[in-house]
Amino acid sequence: MLNMGVLRYVLVACLIAISNHVNVASAGITRRYKFDIQLKNVTRLCKTRSILTVNGKFPGPRVIAREGDNLLIKVVNHVSTNISIHWHGIRQLRSGWADGPAYITQCPIRTGQSYVYNFTVTGQRGTLWWHAHITWVRATVYGPLIILPKLHDSYPFPKPYKQIPIIFGEWFNVDPQAVIQQALQTGGGPNASDAHTINGLPGPLYNCSAKDTYKLKVKPGKTYLLRLINAALNDQLFFGIANHTLTVVEADASYVKPFKTNVLVIGPGQTTNVLLKTKHVSPNATFFMLARTYFVGQGTIDNTTVAGILEYERKASNSPKTRPVLKPALPAINATGFVANFSNMFRSLASSKFPVDVPKTVDRKFFFTVGLGTNPCPKNQTCQGPNGTKFAASINNVSFVLPNTTSLLRSYFFGKSNRVFTTDFPSSPIFPFNYTGMPPNNTMVARGTKVVVLKYNTTVELVFQDTSILGAESHPLHLHGFNFYVVGQGFGNFDPTRDPKRFNLLDPVERNTALVPAGGWIAVRFRADNPGVWLMHCHIEIHLSWGLTMAWVVLDGDLPNQKLPPPPSDFPKC
């Protein structure tokens, strides 16, 4: 029997299809999910904590769709914490109300309330993910978001026998909300996590954890597609599998020219698809897959190693006790050169079916410094940041302050005079300095809620320049609402006359999150063809908390299909 709700959607889909003169058969379907935000007791490392989850699952449920599908995800908040969910990497074409970052596109979903995220997946396929986008709730509230190609669409790589999400995370023995509250209060660096996890499991290299080990059971002579997702709060990771070479085929849900590697680097927010070809005969060994932190800079970091096990199916006669355990070799914790080389390996597939659409001409150029800084310590308090200050982070020396009475998008859409933001975000540093040399004496940052306004369809070139203020660090920069093309990267200070001559406009990788090398820069380009308010930030959560973020306001275009529609009726109120 056909349910009336389904019928209504079928009818609406047909009407939309007819009105757009497209073939009904090629339009996607509507897929509904329900996310109940609830507490759940979870034990890791012999410590039981009540953690925030979606539907009691940790990691959270997989959302699977096909390119062209409409997703309706009803999020119901059953906990006392405010919630908001972001669909990381989804372009949200003219659906910015569903993007999710709290106080940027929407007010949080409060206790007992719900909100239906409504968006259509257009022109994208591959591995993405979803996560909470409010304070540090995403420590446990995250999961894969997998977009399959349209039915009958070809896949440009060897067809995998199986596809497996591998999602990295960080486990805290204490409430992560308390960790960030304490850090912001004292001004010092946050306490490090207690373990890294693969699909929620820390593995046998931690105390009291051997039973919580992720096992990937494989058959010999097959190709497996591993969908790697870094959902860790703060840690960029190296990853490898003993005695197995991986073939990278996709980054942030964009196909790349395949390349082989034994070790991957994956920053928070990034996703990477790799093909794993298993050996022809089951080897008599156990293979560890390991992940651990890449980090340069100051402060304490989780330097522990998560292990999962790659296990071949074998006959019962073969005793597991005598099997040697093999481990992959991973680079040193501070292997910045390795990381830069690895980032440089990525090239767009750039085929006729999946062409590169990098802007060849640029309407507006921006030069953004990204890095740490300080805020003054309030009177009558002692602070634990550098020289008794509070840690901060900024773009062009502006440390972003979130509004708390409305969202930027709502304020932009309805605002007349009393907007909660200003439009004077600097397009280059107000006081230029030697960004990667001796840091300036004054490390204080300015605070503000500033945006850049872009006309519809502006082509943008943006250089992210790391600074060495309080130590050079690598920053995974993430842009909401768009993918960008990474056209260049280098160490030291960006040279505006020499470096652009070497930009790659033929097959630059298309991503939503790219690593700015420690003590270096990257240049990206994108077309502002999506009206709305779009956050851009470092995906290292502590840097985001310290203000390493800003927002773009992209104005409506002239045509009806270039305008942002009004918010849905259940849009959360502050």
Give me the residues that bind ligand C2O (CB under 6 A), please. 86, 88, 101, 131, 133, 269, 478, 480, 535, 537, 539
In the complex with ligand C2O, which residue's Cβ is closer, 233 or 241? 233
State the DSSP H helix or E strand holding residue 220, giving kind and residue range, or none if neither.
Answer: none
Q: Please state the closest distance from residue 425 (CB atom) to ligand C2O, in A.
A: 17
CB of 20 to ligand C2O, least distance (A): 31
Residue 128 C-alpha from the chain's centroid: 8
Spell out the SS3 assignment of 375-439: ECCCCCCCCCCHHHCEEEEEECCEEECCCCCCCHHHHHHHCCCCCCCECCCCCCCCCCCCCCCCC
CB of 451 to ligand C2O, least distance (A): 15
Q: Which residue is nearest to ligand C2O (CB)?
A: 88
| Cβ burial, residue 181 (10 Å; 0-12/13-18/19+) | middle
* Least distance from ligand C2O to the Cβ atom of residue 216, Å: 25
Nearer of residues 374 and 549 to ligand C2O, judged by Cβ: 549
Judged by CB, which is closer to ligand C2O: 129, or 421?
Answer: 129
Quick one: 133 or 527, whose CB is closer to ligand C2O?
133
Which tokens belong to 49?
């904590």
Closest separation in Å from C-beta 137 to ligand C2O? 12
Least gap, CB of 192 to ligand C2O (angstroms): 21
Which CB, 410 or 480, lies closer to ligand C2O? 480
From the CB of 537, what's the least distance to ligand C2O, in Å? 6
Burial of 115 (0-12, 13-18, 19+ CB in 10 A): buried
The smaller minimum CB distance to ligand C2O, of residues 269 and 547, is found at 269
**Shortest distance, CB of residue 376 to ligand C2O, whole angstroms?**
28
Say if CB 454 and CB 363 are below 8 A apart: no
CA distance 558 to 568: 22
Query: Please, which residue, 128 or 198, has the CB nearer to ligand C2O?
Result: 128
- 226: burial class by Cβ within 10 Å (0-12, 13-18, 19+)? buried
Alpha-carbon distances, residue 214 vs 202, 211, 519 (angstroms): 8, 9, 35
Give the count of beta carbons closer than 10 Å to the beta carbon of residue 340.
Answer: 20
Nearest approach in angstroms of CB 39 to ligand C2O is 23
Longest Cα–Cα distance of the chain, Å, equals 77
Residues contacting residue 429 through CB under 8 Å, at least 6 positions apart = 367, 369, 396, 397
Taking the least distance from each CB to ligand C2O, the nearer of 269 and 520 is 269
| Nearer Cβ to ligand C2O (94/131) | 131
CB contact at 8 A, 572 and 113: yes
Residue with smaller CB distance to ligand C2O, 145 or 198: 145
DSSP 156: S
The dihedral over CA atoms of 117, 121, 125, 126, expressed in degrees to the nearest 10, equals -10
Q: Which residues contact 329 (CB under 8 A, 6 or more apart)?
A: 240, 262, 263
Q: How far is the CB of 171 from ligand C2O (least distance, A)?
A: 19
Q: Beta-carbon neighbour count of residue 561 at 10 Å?
A: 8
How far is 483 from 487, CA to CA, in rounded Å?
Answer: 13
